[in-house]
Amino acid sequence: MPRFIALLACVASFLSTTACAGLDPDKPTVLITGSNRGIGLEFVKQFSERGWNIIATARKPGEATDLQAITDGYDQLVIEQLDVTDFERVKALQAAYKDQPIDILLSNAGITPKYKSAFKTVSGVDWDMARKSMEVNAIAPLQIAQVFMDNVAASEQKKIVVISSKGGSFAVGPEMPMMYSYRGSKAALNMYMYTLSFETPKKDVILTLLSPGQVNTVPGMKIPNAIETDESVKKMLAVIDGLTPEHNGKFLDYEDGSEIGW
Ligand SMILES: NC(=O)c1ccc[n+]([C@@H]2O[C@H](COP(=O)([O-])OP(=O)(O)OC[C@H]3O[C@@H](n4cnc5c(N)ncnc54)[C@H](OP(=O)(O)O)[C@@H]3O)[C@@H](O)[C@H]2O)c1
């Protein structure tokens, strides 16, 4: 659909007061979940430097001060409330943007274990956290991909990018008992997306999982050998720029886009 028609349709939408406001019909659009901090916030910064339209979702937009600060100097950023586990809200958001092409659907929101709990053995698994991790890290990205698939298919770039983790890989994950809830949920995410990748070519959509590397995202804490968010996101953007249909259904490294084993 021509971008100017999409914008008119967006403006006419009565389901959301913010939907599409400020979006430039001549620019590509990215939707990013978990945009208020960490890697998601850095994606917003770097996409804004590229002049993209950004639909940035956050669980609590009122508390997302760093994200709001970007809107001060940048009109093409719309902040939307979204807890990714709220499927009704996911569908309502899609309804508000039903005619908006989304060039990149970027599922970034995730639950990462706290450093102290990461090394607990099986006797220390928090089962509520295990269930929650499965919901946030695995089920929600699949639901979001399902619901926004046609927005992506209607865009020029047609990319779904999902942030996973080497921790969810049998091939390269740590060979020790750690991060049960996280690793199980990321492995489930990988399989959900791998399975979905057999459907996406029918819509000319490229679906790719990315590992962001080990990234310092806990304020005030520097993990040895970890990189900063700006480096991780800069390199992931280079990988995303280079995605072609042959990368559909692949799990790629942030550093150089090389393939990671499942
Ligand atoms: N940092 C790393 O070294 C690393 C390594 C491998 C993979 N990853 C993956 O990269 C992604 C981003 O990681 P990060 O380090 O930037 O994490 P982070 O700093 O902990 O930020 C997580 C983001 O996800 C959001 N989120 C959590 N639960 C949510 C929910 N139910 N609904 C909506 N948003 C929710 C958080 O929102 P709130 O502020 O509201 O909680 C926050 O915006 C995650 O998928 C993570 O697993 C990170």
pLDDT, average across residues 43-69? 98
Q: What is the pLDDT of residues 188-221, one digit of tens each?
A: 999 999 999 999 999 999 999 999 999 999 988 9
Pocket test for ligand 1, best of 32, 37, 128 (most atoms within 8 A of CB): 37
Residue 262 lies in a domain: no
Q: What is the CATH number of the domain that holds 19?
A: 3.40.50.720
Residue 6's pLDDT is 42
Higher pLDDT, 202 or 73: 202
**Which residues have a Cβ under 8 Å from the Cβ of 45 and sit 6 or more positions away?**
70, 233
Q: Is residue 261 part of a domain?
A: no
Each residue of 129-180: pLDDT tens digit?
999 999 999 999 999 999 999 999 999 999 999 999 999 999 999 999 999 9
Q: Atom 43, ligand 1: which residue's CA is nearest?
A: 34
Q: Which of 89, 217, 253 to mutate to test ligand 1, by most ligand atoms within 8 A of the CB atom? A: 217
Residue 94 in any domain: the answer is yes
Residue 127 belongs to a domain: yes
Domain residues for 239?
3-253
Contacts of 24 (CB under 8 A, 6+ apart): 51, 53, 76
158: left (phi over 0), alpha (psi -120 to 50) or beta: left
Percent with pLDDT over 70 in the chain: 92
Asked, for residue 258, whether it belongs to a domain, the answer is no
134 within a domain of the structure (yes/no):
yes
Distance of alpha carbon 192 from alpha carbon 197, whole angstroms: 9
Give me the number of domains the chain comprises.
Answer: 1
Is 119 among the domain residues? yes
Per-residue confidence at 117, pLDDT binned at 50, 70, 90? confident
State the distance from the centre of ligand 1 to the C-alpha of 4, rounded, in angstroms. Answer: 34
pLDDT interval class at 114 (50, 70, 90): confident
110 lines ligand 1 (CB under 6 A): yes
Flag whether pLDDT at 1 surpasses 90.
Answer: no
| 4 pLDDT higher than 50 | no
Looking at residue 7, its pLDDT comes to 44
Residue located nearest, by CA, to atom 37 of ligand 1: 34
Q: What is the pTM of this model?
A: 0.95
On whether residue 226 sits in a domain, the answer given is yes
pLDDT tens sequence across 83-111: 999 999 999 999 999 999 999 999 999 99
Is residue 14 predicted with pLDDT exceeding 70?
no
